[in-house]
Structures are given as C-alpha cells and as structure tokens.
Amino acid sequence: MPSKLTSLAASALILGQVNANLNQLAQAAGKLYFGSATDNSELSDSAYVAILSNYEEFGQITPGNTQKWEYTEPTEGNFTYTEGDVITDFAEANGQILRCHNLVWYNQLPSWVTSDTWTNATLTAVMEAHIQSEVTHYKGQCYAWDVVNEALDDNSPTGYRTDVFYETMGVWYIPFAFATAAAADPDAKLYYNDYNIEYAGNKATAAVELVELIQSYGAKIDGVGLQGHFIVGETPSASTLLAQIETYAALGVEVAYTEVDVRFTSLPPTTAGLAQQAVDYGSVTSACLSSDSCVGITVWDFDDAYSWIPSTFSGEGDACLYWANLTTKPAYDTVESLLASAAGTTVPAKTSTAATGTATGTITATSTSSGAQPTQSEYGQCGGIGWTGATVCASPYTCIIMNAYYSQCL
C-alpha cells in the first residue's frame, strides 16, 4: 500500500520544525504507521471522526469488534460482513492501512460454536469455512490479520488456553488457522496477537514456542502482535520491551504494538500520575522506534470516551492519549516528541494542558545546561509547576516542556 507521506513532506520534516502529527512523524521515522482502533458506534461522533479520519494523525485503523466471529457468522454458515464493512470502508476512504481483527479467538463466539459437541473433523471443517469466507471477503483490503488471538493462558500448566478449539483439536488448530488464512489471501500479513507477551516471562516464552510451532508445520506466520495493555507505573522500561521485540524478530517475524493503552487503577489521575503515564507511553514508543522489526503502533482507541477500560475494570480508566473531550494529554506530547526526534525534527510549541484536559499540550525544547548541579537521566522529570528536583538533563538528553506541570528529559 503506497504511503501518503511524499518525499517532499519527508524532506520538510527533516529540514525543520513543522506541524506534523503522529502518523506523519512515525512514517518519517521509518515506521509503517501510527494507528487507532475504532468501532461502528463511534463513527456517529463527528468531532471524533474528524480526528480519526486525519491520515496525518492516524494512518492505520483496526476494527475493534465487528470482524469477530459473533458478528461475521452469527449462525452456522450464515456469513454477514455488513458491520465489519463499515470500518473497512472508512479506512479505505481515508487511505488508511487496515489491520483486520480477528479470525479465531476464545471470546465473542456465537453460542452455536461454544455449546455444540464437536469432533476434531467437524470443528476443523467449521473453522476452515469461517476463515476462508472472511479472509476471502476482505482479500486485498487487509495489511494484516490477527489470525489467532490470545491462545495462551497466563496460568495454564500447558501454556495454552483450554477453549473449544484447543479442547477439540489440540494445539494443531493454531497452524491450521494460519495455513487456511494464507491460502485465502497470500498477500496479507498473518499475526499471532496476545497480551502479557511484551516482556520476558513464561507467557512470552510460550509465545516464542507458538511461533516456532506454526513454522514447524510449514504454515505462514509474518508477525507477532503485542497488545500493550499496560498500567500506569507498571509498564516495563523501553530496554525491557526492546529486548522482547528482538527475541521475536530473531524468529524471522515482524512485530507491532496492536492495542496500546496505559490505564490508571484509581481516578482521577494526579499530575504526577499523568507524568508517569507519559513516561510509560514513551517506553512503548521508544522500544518500537529502536527496532527495525517493529512496524508500527496502534492505540486501542485514542480517546477516553470510547475506551474499553471503564466497562471492564471498574473504577479504572483515563488510559488513552486523548481526554474524553478530545484534547491531548501529556502522554500524547511525549509520544509526539519521541517520534519527532526519531524523524529528525521538533514540534512547535502549543497551548499548555491542565490535568483535567481542557486544552492542547505543550512541547517545547530547552537547552541542556552544564555544570556540577544535579542532573536527571533519560525520561526523568526536569521541570514543571511545583517541581523542586533537578532541572538539568544528563548528556545527551534535553529537557522538553510537555505542559505547564511537567517537563521530561528526552
């Protein structure tokens, strides 16, 4: 799919300071996209759509729900793509890359799949028919498919989730799903997608073995999707995240952050909490920018109004880059600054943001001072209203004003 970032635009980014947004900056930094998930009901919100449809801000779209099995085959053999087509048509109209999501998942299955008594042969036939129909319908539209989603269980002694597919077909269902998808659309990238595999641990080890399993069957797998659902203050460091990206890359696959958000476990967030959220989003962005194998970042919706977090985790939320009123957070400013730095440009100053999200954020560069005074390391706070700590960054980092309350060494 051709990039809308022309060589002229790329040159403008490199030469100086321009009003560039996340996808434009990500592409200038060598990534394929910066994107967002969305859902059908949200497209009736004109203010939201005005941002989502801006290719310079979001160059990639993921349908949050309506390509899942319960929507696309609600009864056996009855395939319907009307709702999924809404999102794919939206992306196509805006020239945005489409990540299609998903084909085989233990959740959001229609009852006829979960309640029937299957044999290996009958469920294999049903899975094959489902994948063939859906992938064929969207053939040529999807940059990538999340073929199998969340097949691993954090607490399972086998590593695998004991859903209807695993219980009936065994682990073989995974390479079979990939082979079937590849036959239906040979040009689409095929991904395994999961959470808690972004950093080293038992589940990440199981994910490596899963990729090797698919490859051992001779099936095609092109990528690993790292969902990136993190908690403020508990997000791994950029170096930890990068190490795991490179572990997957060593298997010969690409990597993408596919569902990123960083939630607060108690609300409302404090100024310090917003600063930490900015650091956490920065860790994800830095890790992806540091690896040629990481093709892009997708946030799991870009504003708090449509986040899945509050309905799933009671009392938690404010996990997105934008407030519910569609103004940006300090985390947005950090992501923008890191992308701009990697693209060889800077971002012009904007109006400052209050902790309640009533205006747009600030990113302005300041010079690093010299001398014997205390210094902050990379990602450390170096200024802001009420800040009494070090205001000088260790070389080669610069103190960047994110907003009136927070500056960070980048």
Residue with tokens 């990206």: 245
**Can you tell me the distance from the alpha carbon of 97 to that of 109, in angstroms, rounded to the nearest whole number?**
26
The catalytic residues are: 150, 259
Judged against a pLDDT cut of 70, whether residue 16 lies above it is answered with no
Q: Where in the chain is the domain with CATH 3.20.20.80?
A: 22-343
Judged against a pLDDT cut of 90, whether residue 132 lies above it is answered with yes
* Average pLDDT rounded to a whole number, residues 270-284: 97
- Tens-digit pLDDT profile for residues 82-130: 999 999 999 999 999 999 999 999 999 999 999 889 999 999 999 999 9
What are residue 304's phi and psi, to 5 degrees? Answer: -65, -25
CATH code of the domain made up of 22-343 = 3.20.20.80
Residue-level pLDDT at 401 = 67
Residue-level pLDDT at 77 = 97
Judged against a pLDDT cut of 70, whether residue 185 lies above it is answered with yes
What are residue 267's phi and psi, to 5 degrees? Answer: -125, 155
Judged against a pLDDT cut of 90, whether residue 181 lies above it is answered with yes
Judged against a pLDDT cut of 50, whether residue 160 lies above it is answered with yes
* Average pLDDT rounded to a whole number, residues 152-163: 90
Positive or negative: CA dihedral 85, 90, 93, 97: negative
- Tens-digit pLDDT profile for residues 257-270: 999 999 999 999 99
What's the whole-model pTM score? 0.83
- Tens-digit pLDDT profile for residues 348-364: 665 444 444 533 333 33
Judged against a pLDDT cut of 70, whether residue 366 lies above it is answered with no
Query: Is residue 216 within 8 Å of residue 209, measured between CB atoms?
Result: no
Judged against a pLDDT cut of 70, whether residue 5 lies above it is answered with no
**Can you tell me the distance from the alpha carbon of 50 to that of 263, in angstroms, rounded to the nearest whole number?**
25
Judged against a pLDDT cut of 90, whether residue 184 lies above it is answered with yes
Joined tokens for residue 28: 């200038």
Q: What is the CA radius of gyration of the chain?
A: 22
Which of 84, 57, 182 lies closest to 128 in space, CA to CA?
Answer: 182
* Average pLDDT rounded to a whole number, residues 205-234: 98
**Can you tell me the distance from the alpha carbon of 269 to that of 16, in angstroms, rounded to the nearest whole number?**
35
**Can you tell me the distance from the alpha carbon of 232 to that of 240, in angstroms, rounded to the nearest whole number?**
16
